[in-house]
């Protein structure tokens, strides 16, 4: 057989292999993809259905036989003062906690940017709160801010008189221990993200600014901070999404009390679904909250699109 005839046979032998491999790869990936789609799509469709019904488990009918009320749930939510306050309160917690976490993370990251003795040990100690289970962290702050806890005892020593303030039952100050618990536990995550970004900044511009005689403050605000903007945007996006779901500190410390003054959106949904069993109403609330979260994420993601 000549070389030309052999070359002519090669395409016919290789062609089935080229067609077989893509189908084989699809067959390998398809079960996992179908499972992921089912996990996402099926609950979403159920929530969409429940959102247009007023179904409750106590009605003794299956959820798929519920009578549609169409958009009345959304109408009621719009005028539900408790829901609106919960959303506004949650946005306030997100803004305050994430801003404090970013400020503390920037300060700590600048402190740990240079090498110094025991630096690695100090970093390990700082990230320890992030490793604690949120329920345990909330329990720790519950004991700290108890009427006869260490916080009141330290204030008593400072002022020289007995101080017994009920932090967790005060309508104004009850939110402070919740936000302090959230900031204490999750500032280490923001610190690691910011520190990694600072350590990977291009040094040419920083060195040029030093040669030109710029002060450290000017270098940070004019050179380092703009270069760090994409990393800060990612950190803010991650922490805003996580803080918006805050539940453990609220549940352990106050259960949303007193009078709903510490009720966040997660606590509102928990009470509505598992205390009052209003599944259809809470499904509609979840869809509205999803729209709010997507809007906030789009706003926070703008700096990343500018630097891409």
What pLDDT is attached to residue 176? 93
What pLDDT is attached to residue 175? 94
What pLDDT is attached to residue 307? 57
When mean pLDDT is compared across 10-14, 153-157, 269-273, 280-284, the lowest value belongs to 10-14
Contact 82/164 with Cβ under 8 angstroms?
A: no
| CATH code reported for the domain at 72-302 | 1.10.3720.10
With vertex at residue 290, the alpha carbon angle to CA 70 and CA 275, rounded to the nearest 5 degrees, is 70
Question: What is the mean pLDDT of the segment spanning 104-129?
Answer: 89
Alpha-helical runs (H) found in the chain:
3-51, 72-78, 81-111, 119-126, 128-131, 134-144, 150-159, 175-199, 203-211, 216-219, 225-227, 229-244, 248-253, 265-274, 279-300, 302-307
Q: Domain-by-domain residue ranges, the chain?
A: 72-302
When mean pLDDT is compared across 5-14, 167-176, 273-282, the lowest value belongs to 5-14
Distance separating alpha carbons of residues 217 and 197, to the nearest angstrom: 18
Question: What is the mean pLDDT of the segment spanning 90-114?
Answer: 93
pLDDT at 284 exceeding the cut of 80: yes
DSSP single-letter state for residue 160: T
What pLDDT is attached to residue 211? 84
pLDDT digits (tens, 9 = 90+) for 31-62: 888 888 888 888 889 999 999 998 888 888 88
What pLDDT is attached to residue 137? 93
Contact 247/267 with Cβ under 8 angstroms?
A: yes
- Per-residue H/E/C for 236-255: HHHHHHHHHCCCHHHHHHCC
| Coil/strand/helix, residue 53 | strand
pLDDT at 103 exceeding the cut of 70: yes
> What would the DSSP string read from start to end of 163-221?
----GGG-TTTTHHHHHHHHHHHHHHHHHHHHHHHHHTS-HHHHHHHHHTT--HHHHII
Within the chain, what is the greatest distance between any pair of CA atoms?
Answer: 107
17 pLDDT tier (thresholds 50, 70, 90): low
């Amino acid at each position: 057989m000549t070389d030309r005839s052999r070359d002519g046979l090669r395409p016919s032998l290789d062609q089935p292999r080229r067609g077989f491999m893509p189908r084989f790869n699809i067959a390998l990936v398809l079960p996992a993809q179908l499972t992921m789609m089912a996990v996402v799509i099926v609950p979403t469709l159920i929530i969409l259905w429940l959102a247009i019904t007023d179904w409750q488990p106590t009605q003794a009918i299956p959820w798929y036989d519920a009578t549609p009320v169409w958009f009345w749930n959304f109408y009621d939510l719009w005028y539900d003062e408790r829901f609106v306050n919960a959303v506004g309160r949650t946005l306030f917690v997100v803004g305050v906690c994430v801003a404090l976490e970013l400020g503390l993370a920037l300060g700590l990251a600048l402190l740990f940017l240079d090498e110094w003795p025991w630096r690695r040990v100090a970093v390990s100690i700082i990230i320890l709160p992030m490793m604690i289970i949120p329920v345990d962290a909330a329990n720790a702050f519950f004991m700290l801010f108890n009427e006869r806890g260490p916080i009141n005892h330290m204030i008593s020593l400072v002022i020289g008189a007995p101080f017994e303030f009920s932090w967790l039952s005060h309508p104004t100050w009850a939110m402070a221990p919740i936000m302090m618990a959230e900031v204490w536990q999750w500032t280490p995550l923001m610190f690691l993200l910011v520190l990694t970004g600072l350590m990977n900044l291009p040094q040419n511009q920083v060195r040029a600014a030093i040669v030109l005689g710029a002060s450290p403050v000017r270098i940070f605000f004019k050179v380092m901070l703009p270069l760090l903007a994409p990393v800060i945007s990612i950190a803010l996006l991650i922490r805003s999404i996580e803080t918006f779901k805050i539940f453990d500190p609220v549940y352990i410390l106050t259960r949303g009390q007193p009078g709903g003054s510490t009720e966040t959106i997660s606590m509102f949904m928990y009470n509505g679904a598992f205390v009052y069993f209003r599944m259809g109403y809470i499904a509609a609330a979840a869809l509205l909250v999803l729209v709010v979260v997507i809007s906030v994420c789009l706003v926070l993601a703008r700096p990343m699109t500018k630097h891409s």
